[in-house]
Amino acid sequence: MNSGRGKRLFADREEASFILAVLVPTMAAFLVIRLAPIAETFVGSFFNWSLVDGFGRFVGVRNYVRLFADKTFYSSFVNTINFTVFTTLFSVVLGLLFACLLNRKPRFSTLYETIIFVPVVLTFVPVCLVWMWLLDWESGFVNVALRALGLPRVSWLATPTMSMVSVIIVSVWKVIGYNMIIFSVGLKAIPREYYEASAIDGSSRWTVFRRVTLPLLKPITLFVTVMAVINNLKVFTQVYVMTMGKQGGGAQVDVLVSDIYTRSFVYYRMGSASAEAMVLLVVVLAMTALQFRLAREDE
Amino acid sequence: MRRKSLARATTAILLAVACLAQVQAKPVKLTLWSGYPDLQGFYESVAKEFTAQNPDITVEVQTFALADLDKKLGMSIPSKTSADILELISLYSFPWATKYFSEVPANLKKGCLDVVNKTYLHDVMYGEKMMGLPFCFYSEVLYYNKDMLAEAGLKGPPDTIEQLVDYATKMTKRDADGNVVRSGISLRFAGNPSGTCEKFWAFGLMPFGGDILAESAKKPGKFHNGFDNEAGRKALGLYLDLIYKHKVTDFNIKQDSDAFAQGKAAMLEREQWVVGTLKTAAPGLNYGASALPKGTARNTFAITRNMFVPKAAKDQAAAWKFVSFFYSKPIMERMVRETGWLSTRADLDYKALLKESPQLLAGIDNPPDLKFIWQKRLTIENGIMTKMGEEITKLLRDQGLQGNEAKIREEIHKLGAIVDDMLKDSDLYAE
């Protein structure tokens, strides 16, 4: 009996050891690489400090107060939210649409899948540069095509609004393929019986999509949306390359991460940048929590 | 026994000599960072020549876009991971110079002081300490397309702001829809905001006697904005009038040296590097260069490019040895001849060196009434210029401001308050 109990205990210990052996290094790395910098940033947001002079004096919540009174922060915040909403909406809807279309296995479906997926694996900076050429007002392909169709040219990158629209177009184009693949996996996992039963009931395609496909894709949709929202809130590369690095007539678009970057490495105001980073963290956490809650309520 | 001791001593000496030889022969590999990718080839050729004379020292050259280099400094200097030699414009050096860079060694300092045009020491001398070696300088000049000038029936470049507006209007071309297809003058609307502010400073503020920052008369060493005044209002008004009233350019057409090279701009306000760029980008372009037109004053900025050695450099002596070699007369002559960048050495014969690029003389043969305006060497100066550049580009897109003096006054005042707040944050503000 004792030996039996001992054996069971030994088995538990082994399992516990295994779990610890696997988890501890990962958790330690997570702690050092993720949590510690967040904690340091949080503490730093209450200090007036710079990269040049190091930690200065404790200023309490002053960095937050001044941040919320800063026009650039507001425009960055609004731009980030606009970008996130539109990019997420279009990339999720179009990703689902392409997945549904290709799930019917039309001719050359693999080719279409490849073409739609290719932008995902391309490096973003050169992609943005190519898009800037395509969107060039004078000689870009898009405006040349518009003129050939008898339509007026569009100042894609010359006004803040159109710069934002251009960035959204490029971002959606870049990520549709990824969303499409995830949705395709979800679609393949839906048992055929549901569709067969619907067909017997004489349901229309739209009804089948609404009553069968969408509800069963809910976990996948939630995953894709949450990932898209998190990634879009962190937008930086395309905004930086397409609107901030140009010496032509391009209009700059401020977003939260670019504003954090400017405060840190141009103004050297790390306290202010830390405060803005904490705001971004709270926004990301809040949005994610909200999405999970909405999904749970629906269940 | 004696023989044994002798053998031991000989072995010890041989070992010591071998170790010493190894120490002396230990190769040093230095890294140099520059914000001018177009000079990569030149720097590499100098580094190669240097290594030929100093086989133990090699210099790897890494160049980045100017604004990217600035961001790299912010991360690498405090973490002591920057290059061993930093070639920086003065503005980028102000935050770091006294705290993170090593002083120029006495012999090199003396050698430099013997030959340098003393005007260009402004940004590197901190009291008696010389924190970097200013090897190159540039200022803002006006480039003009001679063919377009002649086509408009104009004899020479504009000398006053009024002439500039008039000439730009005459040289602007539009298509049937009224879109500008050739700017009368290219204006800076975007790109690195600090550079946008720099252009606004030289082209807008300076001709009217304005400046970005003004030193407090009551408290020397403290500053306030230098443009919440008539000069600031005139500067913004000039830009807005050129865009919306005279319509000499717009936000769609290409700007900057690309536009000038492609014949899409008749005039351009820029630094001397444009000459080097145009040599390859538009070798047949018929253009000239002159001092910036005057308003109530004729001013331009002068900025030096300097060599710095961080305290964290792996071998400071070797790094300064390279800098000393770089600043030698033959290398500086080569730099002027091959790249078009002007050296701070006063003992060069520019007229002979610049036979092929007479446009560069606009930065050397200056009108007697031209005054150089310098930056103020503040840690946050680049930050202030960046913020101003961001705000100015937004103001220029507000067509409602054109001709509305009250609104212009209000916006300039707001911009001044932003700059003053930044100074206050750094405890550098006084009225």
Q: Does A266 touch chain B (CB under 8 A)?
A: yes
Asked whether this complex has an ipTM greater than 0.85, the answer is: no
Instruction: Please report the DSSP string for B222-245 in residue order.
Output: -EEES-SSHHHHHHHHHHHIIIII
Q: Does A21 touch chain B (CB under 8 A)?
A: no
The CA distance from B43 to B49, in Å, is 10
Tally DSSP H helices, then E strands, for chain A: 15, 2
> Cβ of A249 and B425 within 8 Å?
no
The CA distance from A122 to A141, in Å, is 20
Specify whether the CB–CB gap between B183 and B253 falls below 8 A: yes
Residue A277 lies in a domain: yes
Q: Both A106 and A168 in a single domain?
A: yes
Residue A56 lies in a domain: no
Specify whether the CB–CB gap between B268 and B259 falls below 8 A: yes
DSSP SS3 for B305: strand
Nearest to B397 among A159, A262, A269 (CB): A159
Residue B354 has pLDDT above 70, yes or no: yes
Q: Both A27 and A122 in a single domain?
A: no
> What is the gyration radius of the CA atoms in chain A, in angstroms?
25
List the structure tokens of B220: 């020397």
In the predicted model, what is the mean pLDDT of residues B380-387?
A: 90
Domain around A140: 62-298
Q: Both A211 and A284 in a single domain?
A: yes
Give me the residue label for tokens 């991360």.
Answer: B75
Sign of the torsion angle spanned by Cα atoms B390, B395, B399, B400: positive
Tens-place pLDDT, residues B320-341: 999 999 999 999 999 988 888 8
Q: How close, in Å, is residue B190 to chain A by CA atoms?
A: 5
Residue A74 lies in a domain: yes
Residue among A104, A108, A298, A113 nearest A205 (CA): A104
Give me the residue label for tokens 């395309």.
Answer: A238
pLDDT of residue A4: 46
Using CA atoms of B153, B156, B157, B163 in order, give the dihedral in degrees to the nearest 10: -60
Q: Both A35 and A71 in a single domain?
A: no
Supply the mean pLDDT for chain B.
Answer: 90
Residue A51 lies in a domain: no
The CA distance from A165 to A38, in Å, is 32
Residue A52 lies in a domain: no
Residue B48 has pLDDT above 60, yes or no: yes
Q: How close, in Å, is residue B394 to chain A by CA atoms?
A: 8
DSSP state of A34: I
Residue A55 lies in a domain: no
The CA distance from B180 to B164, in Å, is 18
> Cβ of A247 and B191 within 8 Å?
yes
pLDDT of residue A2: 45
CA B19-B23-B29 angle, 5° bins = 150
> Cβ of B95 and A52 within 8 Å?
yes
Q: Does B189 touch chain A (CB under 8 A)?
A: yes
**B262: exposed, middle or buried (Cβ count in 10 Å: 0-12, 13-18, 19+):** middle
The CA distance from B137 to A214, in Å, is 66
The CA distance from A80 to A236, in Å, is 10
Tens-place pLDDT, residues A4-27: 444 554 467 778 888 888 889 999
Residues from chain A that touch B188, judged by Cβ atoms under 8 A, are 247
**pTM confidence score:** 0.80
pLDDT of residue B118: 92
Q: Does A269 touch chain B (CB under 8 A)?
A: yes
Cα–chain-centroid distance for residue B261?
A: 21
Nearest CA in chain A to B415: A71
Nearest CA in chain A to B384: A267
pLDDT of residue A269: 84
Residue B172 has pLDDT above 90, yes or no: yes
Q: Residue A6: how many CA atoms within 13 Å on its side-chain side? A: 3
Give me the residue label for tokens 């503005």.
Answer: B91
Tally DSSP H helices, then E strands, for chain B: 17, 16
> Cβ of B74 and A265 within 8 Å?
yes
The CA distance from B253 to B12, in Å, is 76
**B181: exposed, middle or buried (Cβ count in 10 Å: 0-12, 13-18, 19+):** middle
pLDDT top residue among B20 and B295? B295
DSSP SS3 for B57: strand
* Domains in chain A, number: 2
Average pLDDT, consecutive stretches of 10 residues, N- to C-terminus, chain A (299 residues): 48 79 90 92 90 80 92 91 95 95 86 91 91 88 91 85 92 95 92 88 87 90 91 90 64 85 85 94 89 72
The CA distance from A290 to A285, in Å, is 8
Q: Both A14 and A145 in a single domain?
A: no
Q: Both A9 and A104 in a single domain?
A: no
Q: What are phi and psi of A69, to 5 degrees?
A: -95, 0
Give me the residue label for tokens 């444009």.
Answer: B274
Cβ neighbours, 10 Å, residue B239: 22
Q: Both A24 and A141 in a single domain?
A: no
Residue B280 has pLDDT above 90, yes or no: no
Q: Both A136 and A170 in a single domain?
A: yes
User: H or E stretch including A57?
Assistant: strand A54-58
Q: Both A101 and A4 in a single domain?
A: no
Residue A40, amino acid: E
Q: Both A120 and A254 in a single domain?
A: yes
Q: What are phi and psi of A255, to 5 degrees?
A: -130, 170
Q: Does A56 touch chain B (CB under 8 A)?
A: no
pLDDT of residue A198: 87
Specify whether the CB–CB gap between A264 and A192 falls below 8 A: no
Contacts of B227 (CB under 8 A, 6+ apart): B205, B210, B211, B212, B235, B412, B415, B416
Q: Both A247 and A113 in a single domain?
A: yes
Specify whether the CB–CB gap between B375 and B359 falls below 8 A: no
The CA distance from A62 to A68, in Å, is 10
3-state DSSP percent of chain A in helix, strand and coil, to 5: 75, 5, 20
pLDDT top residue among A199 and B162? B162
Residue among B202, B129, B138 nearest B344 (CA): B138
Contacts of A33 (CB under 8 A, 6+ apart): none
Q: How close, in Å, is residue B369 to chain A by CA atoms?
A: 31
DSSP SS3 for B141: strand
Q: Residue B324: how many CA atoms within 13 Å on its side-chain side? A: 16
> How, if at all, do strands B267-270 and B223-225 pair?
unpaired
Tens-place pLDDT, residues B51-108: 999 999 999 999 998 878 888 898 899 889 999 999 999 989 998 999 999 999 999 9
Residue A145 lies in a domain: yes
Q: How close, in Å, is residue B397 to chain A by CA atoms?
A: 8
Give me the residue label for tokens 């090897």.
Answer: B135
CATH number for the domain that contains residue A137:
1.10.3720.10
Beta bridge partners of B267: B144
> Cβ of A155 and B193 within 8 Å?
no
Cα–chain-centroid distance for residue B24?
A: 38
Residue A8 lies in a domain: yes
Residues from chain A that touch B428, judged by Cβ atoms under 8 A, are none
Residue among A96, A112, A94, A124 nearest A231 (CA): A124
Q: Both A98 and A28 in a single domain?
A: no
Q: Distance of CA A9 to CAs A2, A15, B311, B418, Å?
A: 10, 10, 60, 68
Specify whether the CB–CB gap between B198 and B385 falls below 8 A: yes
